[in-house]
Amino acid sequence: MEPRLQRRVQRYGWDKAAEYYEASWKEQLRPAQDKLMEMAGLKPGENVLETACGTGLITFRAAKAVQPGGHVVATDLSDGMIQMAGKEAKKQNIDNVHFQRMDAEDLDLGNESFNAAICGLGVMYFPDPVQSMKEQFRVLKPGGRIVSAVWGERKKCGWADIFPIVDKRVASEVCPMFFQQGTGNTHEISMKEAGFTDIETERLSVKLYYPSDEVAVMAAFAGGPVALAYRKFDEETKQGAHEEYLESISGYQKNGGYEIPGEFVVSRGVKPID
């Protein structure tokens, strides 16, 4: 897919997904976010950049970890996500975070300004993951670290058929390279290509719980990256897509709901001190 089109699909798709996102994914993403926070080891007083911050699930944890004296700049391509996260920050009275709409591949930020750069479940959506890591490398101080979490291998993610099911009902692929970063050591290689050293990776096998057909369908279609395409389906197309998706996850039925396998890959690298 042409990069500009991919960015548009992502930007406006996540605008649509924002209101369903936490109900769909908050619990399911927690193991990856916990591991990311552990590997980032954020300390009081540090300045942190977050790319693809979404509704702020990791942002608010990072903001707390760097207090007192630290600050988080949290960025995302989607206005809907940035607005939702900003409202939540106000509600929670968190004043050491600045939210700004920004493409992870083109950061409007100065060189060598951050101690750490974090990105949770974002890189799969960027047209050029290495470019986003080069940008993070540029804005990190020497000795600063990057930590990024992505979904793992396709065959280890039981919900993966959502992409071909939606793709065959629209003109182009929604997320062409979704599983690329989480396959083999691609994520590490991307970090290396961007200049990072001392790279370490952890793979996590998880189970995603959904209590009913309805919740599983909502998470897959409305709360994630296919939301833009899905909104354009007529009722009959939606129904057909739901049935096909439920059939694809039918092997994971448990207690009236679903226990779907998933895998996360979390990698950490360091910007060398010349």
Ligand X SMILES: C[S@@+](CC[C@H](N)C(=O)[O-])C[C@H]1O[C@@H](n2cnc3c(N)ncnc32)[C@H](O)[C@@H]1O
Using DSSP bridges, classify how beta strands 47-50 and 114-120 pair: parallel, antiparallel or unpaired: parallel
Q: Which residue number, 86 or 253, has a Cβ lying nearer to ligand X?
A: 86
Q: Which residue number, 49 or 58, has a Cβ lying nearer to ligand X?
A: 58
Q: Which residue number, 46 or 76, has a Cβ lying nearer to ligand X?
A: 76
Compute the least distance from the CB of residue 159 to ligand X, in Å.
13
- Chain residues that interact with ligand X, rule: CB under 6 A: 7, 10, 14, 29, 33, 51-54, 57-58, 76-78, 81, 103-105, 120-122, 125-126
How far is it, in rounded angstroms, from Cα 138 to Cα 51? 14
Candidates 155, 132, 162, 169; CA nearest to 52 is: 132
Compute the least distance from the CB of residue 57 to ligand X, in Å.
4
Main-chain phi, psi angles of 17, to 5 degrees? -80, -20
Compute the least distance from the CB of residue 77 to ligand X, in Å.
4
Q: Which residue is nearest to ligand X (CB)?
A: 54
Q: Which residue number, 60 or 196, has a Cβ lying nearer to ligand X?
A: 60
Q: Which residue number, 138 or 143, has a Cβ lying nearer to ligand X?
A: 138
- Say which residues have a Cβ less than 8 Å from residue 91's Cβ, sequence separation at least 6: none
Alpha-carbon Rg of the chain, whole angstroms?
A: 18
Compute the least distance from the CB of residue 256 to ligand X, in Å.
27
Compute the least distance from the CB of residue 73 to ligand X, in Å.
13
DSSP 108: -
- Say which residues have a Cβ less than 8 Å from residue 61's Cβ, sequence separation at least 6: 33, 37
